[in-house]
Chains A and B, each alone.
Chain A
Amino acid sequence: MPRPERKTIQLTIDGREVQAAEGAMLVDAAKQGDIEIPYFCYEPKLGQPVGACRMCLVEVEGIPKLQTSCSTPVKDGMVVHTQTDRVRAAQNAIVEFLLVNHPLDCPVCDKGGECPLQDISFGWGLGRSRMIEPKRHFQKPLALSPLVAIDRERCILCYRCVRFSQEIAEDYQLIFAERGADTFVGTHDGHPYVAPFSGNIIELCPVGALTSQPYRFRARPWDIEDGAGICTLCPSQCNVTFTVRDERVLRVLARDHEGVDDGWLCDKGRFAYQAIHVDERITRPLVRDGGELREVSWERAIDAAAGLARHQGRVGTLVGGQASNEEGFLLGRLAREGLASADIDSRAGGAHGWAGPVSADLARALAAPELQASVPDIEFAHTVLLLGCDPRDDAPILDLRIRKGVRRHGVKLAIASARPTALEANATLSVRYAPGDDGRFAAALARALDGADDVGEEIAALASLLRDGGEDVVILYGERLGAGAAALLRIADGLGIAGRDGAGLIGLPGGANGRGLREAGAVPDAGPGYTTLATAGRSTAQIGAAAAAGEITALHLFGTDPVRDQPDRALWERALHSVALVVAHAAVLTEGLAEHATVIFPAESHAEKEGTVVHPDGRLQRLRIAIAHPGEVRPSWAVLAEIARRCGLDTGVTRAHDAFAQLVAAVPAYAGLTLEEIGGRGVRWPERAQAASISGGDVTLVGVPAGEPAPSAQNGSLRLGTYRPIWAAPECEVSPALKFLIPQQQLELSPEDAQRLGIAHGSEVIVSSNGHRLTATAAVRTGVPAGSAFLADGLAAESANALTESLVEVVKV
């Protein structure tokens, strides 16, 4: 539903005239007048107030009873008192009641010093208690999950954590059990609370009842500094605050940004900071010497990397998704200007049945400002369509945003995907297609919107939902659509999305900064700002093939290990084996690099980096240095500039800012931007006047490549689809706290196929095709269409990219 308009009204609080939006809750309106009303249970992010803690009682003239200001919407002319004897007596009473059972173990409580209960007891309590009965005592602390500890003595039953689990993440694992004073927070039958967003409950807890296992007792509030940053572990690019002590990141908190993350973080973003400070981290340059990677001096490593210059015209460059715009930009300059090699790509190749990569023309058309939806548009759209993506894995925090839209604003959710998503239960309409058919499905949907009537019932129903469900349609699409995304232009045209506020497209790239890297020119056929290049280079998949064939003789791998990240593991193993030089930049050693890299430069983490990234909705965001570089790690922009210099290219980059300035000069849509303007909240460039430099052009000119239709399952074989689980990342593998989440390969298949093949849920199976095979655990899942099966990629072992064909055989071990 479109955003409601709010008019401003005036009310009086404690004699002060206060302006507030009509319908805002009194407790929020009071803040406008610099009046603080204490509360525990209220948290606007959690939706409707519950009024449970009763801390925020105030007197409203004309209403005999005290009112909870968290649940009282302001009205024009309202007169409110927050300082009367009655209010104070109520506040004293509530504090006294809260402390009836709360232990005063503040000296040994992890929350001490940043605890709302401490603050409110001090500010609004009497400072004494008349309760002399023994308090409740529980065992403490106890594990609630490997990530969260629970101390039930301290719990004041404010409802925040359970509301998060039940109404925000909707995993409904965390509950209140029992009743009255016996009520406690727990789970079903001793199961741990493990869910992608569970860590948010730690931040929500207003007392020390829920604490972070990794952070417990690592620091006191007066020991720490805050560093604002961006999490670049996925395209959600959540705004975060790093808790820093002695140049170490000890904790990651949300830095609420309504336009990006709505104040939530996923557990990867919250806990994978541990990867910054682990022994596995590469902190000194490595060079292969006698077959072994050895730590060497920077001079020696740069010397070795300068060997790229000897492969002029034959260097392939792959840019990992976490690279900043500036790094992508410098890599593009190095490749094209320094090494005469246009073979640079930042996009993943597609798996089976893929329509091929997006062309420069299509990328530009899709980036047209009039087609861009913003993140908040998801929440207020009439209809949201997920096309070939599952936000929980691809951009987790958007999963929460969609749930919020459906729950609170009546958004109708339509899902079209090969694999059932995490949002099926929220969908108005859900359509499955065969793995690899993403592009063809999109094309069929476009035709249905054009009026074709031969598309089948499901697509027709989807088309009519999109067409008739309201004008504000937001489409989230995944990178696996590839060139099939061209159909989106027709779909957008058919729905009148262009130029409509509240409607638009959001592409979810495979890499965290996929969009920024495209805009910085880290693609083979476009320069910075989607400018068309005279001669296009090779795409990722082509680079792999060319390297394996000996046409490319050196690889420059920036923050990516293709053996892990790309389809067709065997091809990339051959490619890496074949080339003479592999220069890599990495934070941890993954299998391809360990085996094949010639030089490895230690890479920066997102807490150490300076630069910018672009959110999938076009928001430029700024990475800032929160901690000093550990060990001998150097800024990557400087390393790249130095390699370029040694390859004969003077980039003119001597400060981080120089690379940004060059980027802004090169991308017309960024023209005139400054780092100050981007600041802590970012700037959505599609909203800038300069965005007009990118136009969609004539969409009818962009054909809709059908791609090769996937063969249908036959003779007992299954069509294989892949997905990358949220936890499949090297950062999770090396973070001690997250190790328990590292996915083991499992084959998801339908109950029908499981029965037909005689495969029981949980049994070991061998999945094979064309001589390649892997072992997995069978997971029988309702919702998986018969004939399809799914494997995870991005895993360290038994990853789906071991298989190359779209049809697989499955047998019991």
Chain B
Amino acid sequence: MKKLLFDRIDEPGLNTLDVYERRGGYQSLRTALGMSREDVLSQLMDSGIRGRGGAGFQMGRKVSFLPQGDMAKYLVCNADESEPGTFKDRELMQKSPHMLVEGIVIAAYAGGISRSFIYIRGEYQLQADILEAAIAEAADAGYIGEDILGSGLSMSLVLHRGAGAYICGEETGLLDSLEGKRGNPRLKPPFPAIEGLYAGPTLINNVETLATVPHIIRMGGAEYAKIGTETSTGTKLVSISGDVKRPGNYEIELGIPSREIVYGLAGGPPSGRDVKFWFPGGSSSPVLTKDDLDLPYDFDSLAKAGSMLGSGAIIIADESRRVLDTALKLAKFYAHESCGKCVPCREGTNWTHKMLQRITTGEATPMDLDIMASVQTQIIGNCLCVLGDAMAMPIGSMVVKFRAELESEIEAARARSGGADVEDVVALGVADEHAGPLPVH
């Protein structure tokens, strides 16, 4: 398959304007500026491209939600790539920063936007430096700034470095952070397209999504839509890591069998063992097993299987891995990254982490698995943003799919620690759902 984003990605100097232009860079911008805003927007709509950041919302529709008018509108590129397992934007920004800049200018034109920001996670220092240099080059060349290429379009672009907080990858948390506040997610509605950055209409898109825009304009939206499946168009950068021979980023056509990515591209587990479980779309996606490897890798197929494509980050764990270890890492991560604003996420992630720790110390009973599963359902759908769900869904899936293993972990740990009998814990009154209002604190 022909690569779009990663075509000759390692060409030396591609991060400079020179090489990028020599390869036809910024031609799409010229094309777009020769078209009307509406035409650019309809190309984006026709492409059917869905957001590459996690939620998978159609980009063209997002742009179309922006109100018309003279008010200050903003574009924010979400480069706060912090979903565990995801590292595609990093490589893209480091090696082809101008592709992103070009995409941003075109998208801003389509949305009638004059101020743009790239919010990059603070840890990506190398990539931020490269982007800053690229922005300066693009500004010098007249691709950014006043009256771009004589089109009358003006747009500024500021790179904003974050300071280490997963929640700032959530679009409204990112907006608060960019406004200089704690990165707490906001209530929705109002959605950012109506009231976002500085209370103005705001288009927020992932790096990969925006970097694809020049290709859509070059190919034409309809042509782009021919790649992939009907509802998952285009190519996708997939980050694959964990127990595989060749971890890294691959550009794939959406809809190919997952097995082809895991085994065909990444080579499968180096040990030769079978895959035990895998996250198809970052650590927030419910885990799948080896039985699911033949699922087509696209938004809808994975959703139908009870998981999601998310950010397109596959993490593979082979048969030698313990589910409990990964569950603990996961719960610890989300408890650490919960912003603390809403109750179910703040308390639920923390409680779940404590319950998992009790399993390892031999203080849990199988009944705790029921409580854990129930706590996850109490989190899902009740939170302010999706972070709570992002822990509850994979943990919930692990309890369901690997219950027997977790039960034997419990028994083994109890045996190791010489812990109390199950009956002792039940006697505390924890187990009996029908014991009446007996506060057990």
CB pair A181–B187 under 8 Å, yes or no, is no
**Which residues 126-143 of A have a CB within 8 angstroms of B?**
126-133, 135
A179 touches B165 (CB 8 A): yes
Decide yes or no whether A32 CB sits under 8 A from chain B.
no
Q: Would you give the 0/1 interface string for B371-384, flagging 1 where the beta carbon is closer than 8 Å to chain A? A: 10010001101111
0/1 string, B398-441, CB within 8 A of A gives 1 = 00000000000000000000000000010011100001111111
Binding-face segment, B108-116, B225-233, B278-286, B333-341? B333-341
- Complex contacts, A54 vs chain B, CB 8 Å: 342-344, 382-384
Kindly name the residue among B344, B358, B374, B381 whose own CB sees the greatest number of chain A CB atoms within 10 A. B344
* Of B200-208, B210-218, B259-267, B349-357, the one with at least 4 CB within 8 A of chain A: B349-357
Query: How far, in Å, is B434 (CB) from chain A's closest CB?
Result: 10
B61 contacts partner chain A, Cβ-Cβ < 8 Å: no
Known: A68-B187, A97-B348. Contact between A53 and B335, CB under 8 A?
no
> Is there a chain A Cβ closer than 8 Å to B300's Cβ?
no
The answer on a CB contact under 8 Å between B341 and A181 is: no
Other-chain contact of B441, A57, A89, A104, A157 (Cβ < 8 Å): A104
Question: Is the C-beta of A101 less than 8 angstroms from some C-beta in chain B?
Answer: yes
Q: B182 on the interface (CB 8 Å rule)?
A: yes
Asked whether, in the complex, the Cβ of B440 is within 8 Å of the Cβ of A128, the reply is yes
Q: Is B132 located at the chain interface by the 8 A CB criterion?
A: no
B62-101 vs A, CB cutoff 8 Å, 1 = contact: the mask equals: 0000000000000000000000000000000000000000
A546 CB-CB contact with B under 8 Å: no
When distances are taken between beta carbons in the complex, the residues of chain B under 8 Å from A71 are: 187
List residues of chain B with CB within 8 A of the CB of A179. 165, 182, 337-340
Q: State whether A50 touches B440 (Cβ < 8 A).
A: no
B340: which of A65, A99, A157 is its contact (CB, 8 Å)? A157
Q: Interface residues of B, CB < 8 Å — how many? A: 41
A180 contacts B342, CB within 8 Å? no
- A71 vs B188: C-alpha distance in the bound complex, in angstroms? 9
The verdict on B146 contacting chain A, using a C-beta distance below 8 Å, is no
A99 touching B187, Cβ below 8 Å: no
Q: Check A97 against B378 for contact (C-beta < 8 Å).
A: yes
Chain B residues whose C-beta falls within 8 Å of the C-beta of A57 in the assembled complex: 382
In the assembled complex, A755 has its CB within 8 A of some CB on chain B: no
Contact at B348–A52, with CB atoms within 8 Å? no
Taking CB atoms, residues of chain A closer than 8 Å to B354 are: 133
Q: Is B236 an interface residue (CB 8 A)?
A: no
Give Cα A408–Cα B431 distance, bound, in whole angstroms.
Answer: 50
Return chain B residues, CB-CB under 8 Å to A351. Answer: none
Contact A50 B343 (CB under 8 A): no
**In chain B, what residue has the closest Cβ to A97?**
B347
Residue total for A at the interface (Cβ-Cβ under 8 A):
43
User: Are A130 and B438 in contact (CB-based, < 8 A)?
Assistant: no
Check A131/B358 contact, CB under 8 A, given A52-B342, A52-B384: no
> Whole-angstrom distance between the alpha carbons of A68 and B341 in the complex?
14
The reply on B50 being an interface residue by CB < 8 A is no
For residue A100, CB closer than 8 A to chain B, the reply is yes
Q: Report chain A residues within 8 Å CB of B358.
A: 133
CB nearest neighbor in A for B440: A129
Report chain B residues within 8 Å CB of A131. Answer: 351, 440-441
Residue of A54, A93, A130, A183 contacting most chain B CB atoms (<10 Å): A130
Interchain CA distance A469-B371 in the complex, whole Å: 61
A127 to B344, CA, bound (A): 18
A160, B252: Cα distance in complex, Å: 49
Per the bound structure, the CA–CA distance linking A181 and B345 in Å amounts to 9
Other-chain residue from A53, A96, A103 in contact with B378 (beta carbon distance below 8 A): A96
Cβ 8 A contact of B381, one of A49, A55, A66, A127: A66
B161-178 Cβ-contact flags toward A at 8 Å (1 or 0) = 000010000000000000
Per-residue B-contact encoding for A169-190, CB less than 8 Å = 1, 0 else: 0000000101111110000000
User: Chain B residue with minimal CB distance to A93?
Assistant: B378
- Measured CB to CB, the nearest residue on chain A to B354 is A133
CB distance from A40 to the nearest CB of B (A): 9
B121 at the interface (CB under 8 A from A): no
Q: List A contacts of B165 (CB < 8 A).
A: 179
Whether A53 contacts B382 in the complex (CB less than 8 A), given A128-B440, A132-B428, A176-B182, comes out as: no
A411 interfacial contact with B, CB 8 Å: no
Other-chain contact of B351, A90, A126, A133 (Cβ < 8 Å): A133
Measured CB to CB, the closest approach of chain B to A406, in angstroms, equals: 15
Shortest Cβ distance from residue B386 to the other chain A in the assembled complex, whole angstroms: 11
Check B346 for interface membership: any CB of A closer than 8 A: yes
Contact B338 A99 (CB under 8 A): no
Q: Which residues of B contact A51 (CB under 8 A)?
A: 187, 342, 384
Q: Pick the contact of B187 from A49, A94, A178 — CB < 8 Å?
A: A49
Given contacts A128-B440, A129-B441, A180-B350, 8 further A-B contacts (CB under 8 A): A54-B342, A54-B344, A99-B441, A100-B351, A103-B441, A126-B437, A133-B351, A157-B343
User: 5 smallest A-B Cβ distances: which pairs?
Assistant: A127-B437, A93-B378, A183-B340, A97-B347, A180-B338
- Could you list some 20 contacts between A and B, CB below 8 A? A50-B187, A51-B342, A52-B343, A68-B187, A101-B347, A104-B441, A126-B437, A127-B437, A129-B440, A130-B374, A133-B355, A133-B358, A176-B182, A176-B340, A180-B338, A180-B340, A180-B350, A181-B338, A181-B340, A183-B340
